[in-house]
Chains A and B, each alone.
Chain A
């Protein structure tokens, strides 16, 4: 099974961009890279996913390395509501994620 490596925690100031990295060097060529986030007392929430090309949606952008061994989730202007644990996953397998703290 593919495994991922993410920083345990990160901090960012409110209204500044945040770049959350993820290494997934063992991902297969056909597995999508998904990002989810989990707020306290809730289930994980879908953020974005992609295969090879960079992706944008209303929540975030996803930059995927050309060799697909890593990706970066970009929150363009972090708000306090973005404080959560962010998971980067190949199908099914969740790691410990990155706990993002937003400083007002």
Chain B
């Protein structure tokens, strides 16, 4: 266990479904991140939250909607996804958004869109 917990570990959803991914950390970190990892591609940064405010949104389609209700929890709400959105979604946290001290990653949610 890394201290960053992601649920569920696996998710299969239809293109018309709505689902949410959850990330939780109790490391005292104040920045949280969503990354997407597709097969044979580098990790892509999706969203950055620092002190519960979104500080970066890397041109992610609106069918992905993040939510950070407090510094320990991060959600990724999904709706009307496409098959190409199938990927490993990774959450990470750090102490401060300059990541001088490095990230701690969760184990990811493996998402399959059918």
Binding site for B on A (CB under 8 A): 32, 34, 36, 41-46, 49, 87, 91-97
Q: Which residue from A41, A44, A95 sits with its C-beta under 8 Å from B103?
A: A44
Which residues of the partner chain B approach A44 to less than 8 Å between Cβ atoms?
43, 90, 92, 103, 105
How distant is the Cα of A29 from the Cα of B106 in the complex, in angstroms?
Answer: 29
Interface assignment of B108: CB less than 8 Å from any CB of chain A: yes
Q: Per-residue CB proximity of B78-114 to A under 8 Å, as 1/0?
A: 0000000000001010000011111111111000000
Q: Which residue from A46, A94, A95, A96 sits with its C-beta under 8 Å from B102?
A: A46
B27 vs chain A, min Cβ distance (A): 12
Contact B103 A96 (CB under 8 A): no
What is the number of contacts between chain A and chain B, taking CB atoms within 8 Å?
A: 49
Contact A91 B98 (CB under 8 A): yes
Which residues of the partner chain B approach A46 to less than 8 Å between Cβ atoms?
102-104
How distant is the Cα of A49 from the Cα of B4 in the complex, in angstroms?
Answer: 20
For chain B residues 1-54, which have a beta carbon within 8 Å of chain A?
2, 4, 33, 35, 41-45, 48
Instruction: Tell me the nearest residue of chain A to B92, going by C-beta.
Output: A43
| Chain A at the B interface: SS class | loop
Q: Which residue from B43, B98, B99, B101 sits with its C-beta under 8 Å from A94?
A: B43
Contact A95 B42 (CB under 8 A): yes
Q: List 7 A-B contacts (CB under 8 A).
A: A36-B103, A43-B2, A43-B4, A43-B105, A49-B100, A92-B48, A95-B42
Instruction: Tell me the nearest residue of chain A to B90, going by C-beta.
Output: A43
- A43 with B108, Cβ < 8 A, contacts A94-B42, A97-B42 known: yes
How distant is the Cα of A49 from the Cα of B104 in the complex, in angstroms?
Answer: 13
Contact A32 B99 (CB under 8 A): yes
Instruction: Tell me the nearest residue of chain A to B91, going by C-beta.
Output: A43
Q: Which residue from B35, B42, B45 sits with its C-beta under 8 Å from A96?
A: B42
Q: Which residue from B45, B101, B106, B108 sits with its C-beta under 8 Å from A92?
A: B45
Which residues of the partner chain A approach B108 to less than 8 Å between Cβ atoms?
42-43
